[in-house]
């Protein structure tokens, strides 16, 4: 029988589909981030940050990020003979990403090489690296953050800090002295209370009289404990003196598995590459960090640094969304014209870009406050006290709607897993929840205003620097100032409104001074003067859309 020749794949030509945004340096392509790094004192680190950016933008890193999410960690409670092992198995992609993050010292560089701009440099590199995959940022961020809290107990810090500062990733589940490096996590949240950690029921019993640095036994549980494969954790538990902070290692000093059980891994909305667990402590050995009863005061040093990373993480998500949206719109034609040329799409892209620029500039300004505060600058300490909570609230909140709108710019492709946008979208609410959820940040701002009036002064001093250059900001800041504290009866119910306005005033002040002129103008017109709608894409028609989009274009 004669065969009929059929052309393979001859039904149609694939056309009008954008090229993947791949194999580019996410740092070099981000003008806003480059300027912020130079301005905030980390220009000396540009080669290192750029190396992280080169890696994160590579097709290989993007593949690793996707694989680590498609193959989430698996809990292994027992070996085949029935012995408890309490380990988590990760896909090789996770380990490769972790190895690169640790090699780039994203978990430790400012402590290993303290110098002006060190937290800015690390923050910018963290922003670049997280564009490959956000989940690995969790143990990296917790290890970075544990150091200042651990230093409360110098002898524990002397033992553990060198392990946390190592740049050789070692995933082995083995006693820390036998490993090339160690990673840290934290355990605060219990079933009956996450925000209210003072309600913790996990008990700590002194083994030999107790006291700072002494051994205790922990009995109880944690309802959320991420990255349980880490080598040590700061954990809150009730001692006789009240809620206290403990260093809890996975292995005891005599080389035994600590009495700690992994009960379950959480089945999470997003952040799927990362393991978050429920755990139990059964007379587990732990060492007191700081005084009994000073647990919250001690662990807050760790929490504050992870809150900085939440701000950096929120800004990172927005940058990814903007880069993907502009890339798509620049290569996709509708009705014979590229989307990026269509007036309404330009408005959406520019509005997303403005939000992203404000988030990045704010995040790196905050990182500089960390550098300065650690160097003893009291004004910076005061500024950071309020600005951290203000930006954690606002940037993380905006990241969620931002991801949804950026996704829509890709049309149907944006709703499809391969685009990476669903992963971005699922990840987006997390930074707002952990390390103190939205309301908690707002209440923290109120607390700081009452307890540290100098912090409020430092915050408004920063706002004022921009207000002198823009009458819209000047009017907005004056009105905001007059509202504070206002009616004390209603201040708690008004906290979100107040903090939102504080965030807008701070971001505007930074944009007016350091941002692009068109971006700053559109930000002030929309966010401060109300010439704006409820959704993204509602900037005033006279906005210089082309200039704003051009500035945020990831690749030519
Ligand atoms: C993926 C993931 C990983 C996590 N990893 C860890 C971890 O490693 N270690 C750890 O300790 N925890 C971890 N958490 C827990 C997280 O920090 C808590 O979920 C968070 O702090 C909120 O606590 P909660 O869940 O108990 O909620 P609740 O404290 O019950 O709060 C519920 C809501 O009420 C609001 N709220 C609280 N107090 C007030 C108030 N006074 N007024 C108004 N509103 C209020 C909060 O903002 C929140 O929106 C993780 C959570 C997630 C989702």
Closest CA relative to residue 472, chosen from 510, 519, 547, 523: 523
* Atom 43 of ligand 1, residue of closest alpha carbon: 439
pLDDT-derived band at 361, boundaries 50, 70, 90: very high
Could you tell me where the beta strands, DSSP code E, fall in 298-336?
A: 333-334
Cβ contacts of 325 within 8 Å, gap of 6 or more: 348, 349, 352, 406, 409, 410
- At 8 the pLDDT is 61
* Atom 17 of ligand 1, residue of closest alpha carbon: 434
pLDDT-derived band at 399, boundaries 50, 70, 90: very high
CB 329 within 8 A of CB 4: no
Beta pairing, strands 184-187 & 232-239? parallel
Ligand 1 center from residue 296 Cα (angstroms): 15
pLDDT tens for 444-501 read: 999 999 999 999 999 999 999 999 999 999 999 999 999 887 777 889 999 999 999 9
**For ligand 1, what atom is nearest to the CA of residue 226?**
8
Q: Is 348 helix (H, G, I), strand (E, B) or coil?
A: helix
pLDDT tens for 303-337 read: 999 999 999 999 999 999 999 999 999 999 999 99
* Atom 16 of ligand 1, residue of closest alpha carbon: 434
Ligand 1 center from residue 235 Cα (angstroms): 16
- At 487 the pLDDT is 79
pLDDT-derived band at 135, boundaries 50, 70, 90: very high
> Distance (Å, rounded) from C-alpha 233 to C-alpha 225?
9
- At 485 the pLDDT is 75
Q: How far apart are the first and last CA of the chain?
A: 54
- At 2 the pLDDT is 53
Percentage, residues of the chain above pLDDT 90: 96
Long-range contacts of the stretch 173-182 (C-beta < 8 A, 24+) = 173/85, 173/87, 173/229, 173/250, 174/251, 175/251, 175/253, 175/255, 176/231, 176/232, 176/249, 176/251, 179/231, 181/102, 182/143, 182/230, 182/231, 182/232
Beta bridge partners of 544: none
Q: With 80 as the cut, is the pLDDT of residue 136 above it? A: yes
**For ligand 1, what atom is nearest to the CA of residue 271?**
1
CB 326 within 8 A of CB 333: no
- At 484 the pLDDT is 86
* Atom 45 of ligand 1, residue of closest alpha carbon: 439
- φ/ψ (deg, to 5) at 388: -65, -45
Ligand 1 center from residue 430 Cα (angstroms): 10
Ligand 1 center from residue 535 Cα (angstroms): 28
> Distance (Å, rounded) from C-alpha 423 to C-alpha 69?
8
127, 310, 341, 426 from 400: Cα distances, Å: 17, 13, 26, 9
Q: Is 221 helix (H, G, I), strand (E, B) or coil?
A: strand
Can you give the pTM of this predicted structure?
0.97
Closest CA relative to residue 129, chosen from 109, 95, 106, 145: 106
Q: With 60 as the cut, is the pLDDT of residue 182 above it? A: yes
pLDDT (mean) for 529-540: 97
Q: With 70 as the cut, is the pLDDT of residue 7 above it? A: no
> Distance (Å, rounded) from C-alpha 237 to C-alpha 203?
5
Q: How far, in whole angstroms, is CA 156 from its chain's centroid? A: 27
Cβ contacts of 43 within 8 Å, gap of 6 or more: 37, 117
pLDDT-derived band at 39, boundaries 50, 70, 90: very high
* Atom 5 of ligand 1, residue of closest alpha carbon: 226
Q: 551 vs 6, which has greater pLDDT?
A: 551
* Atom 42 of ligand 1, residue of closest alpha carbon: 439
Closest CA relative to residue 426, chosen from 227, 273, 226, 307: 273
Ligand 1 center from residue 436 Cα (angstroms): 6
Residue with tokens 């089945």: 267
Q: With 60 as the cut, is the pLDDT of residue 3 above it? A: no
**For ligand 1, what atom is nearest to the CA of residue 187?**
11
- At 488 the pLDDT is 77
Q: With 60 as the cut, is the pLDDT of residue 61 above it? A: yes
* Atom 49 of ligand 1, residue of closest alpha carbon: 437
Question: What average pLDDT is seen over the chain?
Answer: 96
pLDDT-derived band at 25, boundaries 50, 70, 90: very high
Ligand 1 center from residue 244 Cα (angstroms): 19
- At 160 the pLDDT is 98
Give the H/E segment covering residue 278. strand 276-289
Count of C-beta atoms within a 10 Å radius of residue 203: 16
Ligand 1 center from residue 194 Cα (angstroms): 5
Q: With 80 as the cut, is the pLDDT of residue 436 above it? A: yes
Ligand 1 center from residue 142 Cα (angstroms): 17
Cβ contacts of 118 within 8 Å, gap of 6 or more: 42, 45, 109, 110, 371
**For ligand 1, what atom is nearest to the CA of residue 268?**
1
Count of C-beta atoms within a 10 Å radius of residue 191: 12
Ligand 1 center from residue 310 Cα (angstroms): 14
> Distance (Å, rounded) from C-alpha 319 to C-alpha 355?
9
Ligand 1 center from residue 533 Cα (angstroms): 31
Ligand 1 center from residue 195 Cα (angstroms): 5
- At 176 the pLDDT is 98
* Atom 27 of ligand 1, residue of closest alpha carbon: 194
**For ligand 1, what atom is nearest to the CA of residue 434?**
17
Residues with beta carbon inside 6 Å of ligand 1?
185-189, 193-195, 224-226, 268, 271, 276, 430, 433-434, 437-440, 443
**For ligand 1, what atom is nearest to the CA of residue 433?**
20
**For ligand 1, what atom is nearest to the CA of residue 194?**
26
pLDDT tens for 150-167 read: 999 999 999 999 999 999
Beta bridge partners of 239: 242
For a pocket test of ligand 1, which of 234, 434, 493, 496 has the largest count of ligand atoms closer than 8 A to its C-beta? 434
- φ/ψ (deg, to 5) at 111: -85, -30
């Amino acid at each position: 029988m004669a065969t009929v020749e059929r052309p393979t794949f001859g039904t149609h030509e694939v056309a009008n589909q954008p090229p993947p945004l791949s194999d580019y340096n996410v740092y070099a392509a981000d003008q806003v981030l480059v300027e912020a790094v130079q301005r905030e004192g980390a220009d000396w680190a540009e080669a290192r940050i750029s190396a992280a950016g080169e890696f994160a933008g590579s097709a290989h890193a993007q593949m690793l990020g996707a694989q680590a999410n498609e193959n989430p960690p698996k809990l292994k409670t027992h070996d085949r003979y029935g012995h408890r092992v309490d380990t988590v198995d990760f896909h090789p992609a996770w380990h490769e990403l972790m190895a690169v993050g640790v090699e780039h010292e994203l978990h430790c560089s400012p402590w290993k090489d303290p110098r002006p701009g060190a937290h800015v440099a690390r923050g910018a590199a963290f922003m670049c690296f997280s564009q490959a995959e956000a989940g690995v940022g969790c143990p990296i961020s917790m290890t970075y953050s544990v150091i200042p809290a651990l230093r409360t107990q110098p002898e524990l810090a002397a033992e553990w800090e060198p392990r946390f500062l190592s740049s050789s990733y070692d995933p082995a589940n083995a006693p820390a002295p036998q490993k090339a490096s160690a990673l840290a996590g934290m355990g605060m949240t219990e079933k009956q209370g996450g925000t209210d950690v003072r309600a913790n029921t996990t008990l700590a019993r002194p083994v030999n009289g107790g006291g700072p640095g002494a051994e205790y036994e922990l009995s109880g549980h944690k309802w959320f404990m991420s990255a349980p494969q880490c080598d040590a954790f700061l954990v809150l538990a009730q001692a006789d003196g009240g809620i206290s902070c403990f260093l809890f290692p996975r292995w005891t000093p005599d080389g035994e598995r600590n009495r700690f059980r992994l009960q379950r891994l959480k089945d999470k909305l997003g952040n799927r590459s990362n393991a978050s667990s429920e755990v139990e402590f059964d007379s587990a050995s732990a060492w007191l960090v700081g005084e009994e009863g000073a647990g919250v005061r001690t662990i807050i040093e760790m929490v504050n640094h992870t809150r900085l990373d939440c701000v950096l993480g929120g800004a990172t998500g927005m940058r990814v969304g903007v880069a993907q949206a502009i890339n798509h719109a620049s290569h996709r034609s509708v009705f014979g014209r590229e989307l990026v040329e269509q007036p309404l799409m330009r408005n959406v892209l520019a509005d997303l870009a403005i939000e992203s620029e404000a988030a990045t500039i704010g995040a790196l300004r905050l990182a500089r406050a960390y550098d300065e505060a650690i160097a003893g600058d009291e004004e910076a300490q005061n500024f950071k006290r309020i600005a951290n909570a203000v930006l954690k609230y606002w940037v993380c909140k905006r990241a969620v709607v931002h991801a949804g709108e950026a996704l829509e710019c890709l049309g149907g492709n944006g709703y499809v897993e391969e685009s990476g946008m669903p992963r971005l979208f699922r990840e987006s609410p997390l930074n707002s929840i952990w390390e103190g959820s939205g309301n908690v940040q707002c209440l923290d701002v109120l607390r700081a205003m009452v307890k540290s009036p100098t912090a409020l002064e430092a915050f408004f001093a920063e706002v004022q620097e921009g207000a002198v250059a823009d009458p819209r900001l000047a009017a907005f800041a004056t009105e905001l100032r007059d509202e504070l504290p206002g009616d004390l009866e209603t201040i708690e119910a008004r906290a979100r409104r107040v903090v939102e306005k504080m965030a807008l005033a701070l971001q505007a002040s930074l944009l007016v001074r350091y941002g692009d002129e068109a971006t700053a103008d559109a930000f002030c017109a929309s966010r401060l003067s109300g010439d704006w709608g409820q959704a993204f894409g509602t900037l005033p028609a006279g906005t210089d859309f082309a200039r704003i989009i051009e500035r945020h274009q990831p690749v030519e």
